[in-house]
């Protein structure tokens, strides 16, 4: 009990110190900054709609990551998987079936995006299972590679001749553009997809054999091994699913918002990394993750707002996000699972 209060005290201290640090460095008063974040993200219909728009990729990536963290494997590559999903969708739309009707094109786009994200996630999984490579480092390296790959495409072979030299691909035909709610940027097909998938993942996790196996592996890998579970198969499957979900998020960004492929930093403002925090703050629970995504969508919107209105650098919001992750950590939300990421004792 005492420990509980100590941890709570510590985590509040961390947040306060962090906010004080921002004040020291930038001279912006904390109350002014916080008010600016909250009002811009939640204080108007426009703000709320932007918050929801940014929550969509966080939901999809966070859901996927939660599956991986549940089974104690660390997919940190949602950023790259999202980008590869975006690349897959762009490829289908611009180079494979640009003349397909909307009802055919949109589902195929999502499908191909999910496959591309899933395959990108399978690389660290296969290397882990076959060669015992550290999946954290490999999935992170693949983020950097994916970023360079997207930039290569938009500066190189996929650069549009009609965009005055900007690093953009050609614009998507209207048949590939996702519908939005009124004049907001909420591309609702992706949102609905995310909500349905949250429910499906909830059912998989708590009502199916696979979900049971995932949870057993996450809680006690030795027990899982003695029980004769095919751990390798489940790890591969979990990575495939989590990469696929991130890939869907990428499709949503290019087809719902930008309507073209552009430089990596334009497509994703670190959604894949923020989703790591979303997944843990959501206690790896699919339904909680939906709620937490909305909160972090708001933080991203607020982050943009304080750049414009208070002149704070974009890194401020990343800093605040990291404080929240430390808060989660100190609070012990993640203490139940203590995975070791290299060879476990029993494997030697």
Partner 1 sequence: MSFILEILKATIPAGTPLLLGALGEIYTERSGILNLGVEGMMIMGAVSAFGITAITGNVWLGVLVSAIVGGGMALIHAFNSITLKANQTLSGLSLTMLGLGLSGLIGKRYVGVPLLNKLHSLPIYGLKDIPLIGPILFDQDPLVYISYLLTFVFWFFLFNTRFGIELRSVGESPDVADSAGIDVSKIQYLAVFIGGIMAGLGGAYLSVVYAPAWIEGMTAGMGWIVLAITIFSLWRPERAILGSYLFGGIRVLQYKLQPFGISPNLLNMLPFIFTILVLMLASKEISRKRISAPSSLGIPYFREKL
Footprint of partner 1 on residues 55-74 (CB under 8 A)? Answer: 74
Site string for partner 1, 74-113 (x = CB under 8 A): x-x-------------------------------------
- CB count within 10 Å of CB 7 equals 16
Among 110, 120, 239, 280, binds partner 1 (CB under 8 A): 280
Q: Which region holds residue 164: left if phi is over 0, alpha if psi is between -120 and 50, else beta?
A: left
Out of 2, 164, 174, 340, the only residue in the binding site for partner 1 (CB under 8 A) is: 340
Q: Which of 12, 13, 16, 25 binds partner 1 (CB under 8 A)?
A: 25
Q: Is 9 in the site for partner 1 (CB under 8 A)?
A: no
Binder among 132, 196, 223, 227 for partner 1 (CB under 8 A): 132
User: Shortest Cβ distance from residue 274 to partner 1 (Å)?
Assistant: 9
Interhelix angle 78-91/45-70, nearest 10 degrees: 110
Single residue of 20, 46, 95, 155 touching partner 1 by CB under 8 A:
155
273 part of the interface to partner 1, by CB under 8 A: yes
DSSP string, 118-154: HHHHHHHHHHHHHH---HHHHHHHHHHHHHHHHHHHH
Q: Which residues of 26-39 are buried (b: 16+ CB within 10 A; e: fewer)?
A: eebeeeebeebbee
Over the window 302 to 331, marking each residue x when it contacts partner 1 by CB under 8 A and - when it does not, the resulting string is ----------xxxxxxxxxxxx-xx-xxx-
Contact between 13 and partner 1 per CB under 8 A:
no
Q: How far is the CB of 230 from partner 1 (least distance, A)?
A: 21
Contact 279, 65 (CB under 8 A): yes
Distance, CA of 280 to CA of 246 (rounded, Å): 16
Least distance between partner 1 and beta carbon 26 (Å)? 7
Q: Residues in contact with partner 1, total (CB under 8 A)?
A: 59
Give CB contacts under 8 A, 24+ apart, made by 156-164: 158/90, 158/94, 158/261, 160/260
Q: Which of 59, 116, 142, 234 binds partner 1 (CB under 8 A)?
A: 142
């Amino acid at each position: 009990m005492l420990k509980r209060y100590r941890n709570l005290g510590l985590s509040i201290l961390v947040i306060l110190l962090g906010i004080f640090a921002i004040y020291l460095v930038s001279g912006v008063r904390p109350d002014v900054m916080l008010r600016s974040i909250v009002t811009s993200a939640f204080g108007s219909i426009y703000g709320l709609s932007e918050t929801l728009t940014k929550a969509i990729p966080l939901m999809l990536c966070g859901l996927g990551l939660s599956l991986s963290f549940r089974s104690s494997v660390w997919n940190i590559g949602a950023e790259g998987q999202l980008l590869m999903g975006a690349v897959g969708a762009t490829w289908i739309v611009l180079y494979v079936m640009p003349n397909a009707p909307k009802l055919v094109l949109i589902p195929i786009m999502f499908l191909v995006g999910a496959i591309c994200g899933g395959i990108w996630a399978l690389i660290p999984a296969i290397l882990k299972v076959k060669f015992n490579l550290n999946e954290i480092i490999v999935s992170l390296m693949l983020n950097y590679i994916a970023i360079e790959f997207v930039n290569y495409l938009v500066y190189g072979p996929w650069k549009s001749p009609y965009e005055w030299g900007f690093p953009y691909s050609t614009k998507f035909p209207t048949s590939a553009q996702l519908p939005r709610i009124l004049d907001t940027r909420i591309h609702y097909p992706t949102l609905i997809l995310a909500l349905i998938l949250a429910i499906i993942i909830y059912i998989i996790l708590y009502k199916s054999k696979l979900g049971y196996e995932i949870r057993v592996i996450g809680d006690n890998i030795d027990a899982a091994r003695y029980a004769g579970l095919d751990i390798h198969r489940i790890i591969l499957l979990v990575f495939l699913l989590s990469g696929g979900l991130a890939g869907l998020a990428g499709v949503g960004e290019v087809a719902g918002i930008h309507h073209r492929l552009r430089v990596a930093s334009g497509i994703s403002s670190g959604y894949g990394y923020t989703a790591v925090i979303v997944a843990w703050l959501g206690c790896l629970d699919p339904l909680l993750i939906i709620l937490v995504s909305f909160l972090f969508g708001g933080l991203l919107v607020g982050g943009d707002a304080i750049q414009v209105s208070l002149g704070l650098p974009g890194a401020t919001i990343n800093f605040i996000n990291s404080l929240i992750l430390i808060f989660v950590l100190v609070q012990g939300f993640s203490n139940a699972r203590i995975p070791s990421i290299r060879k476990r004792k029993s494997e030697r």
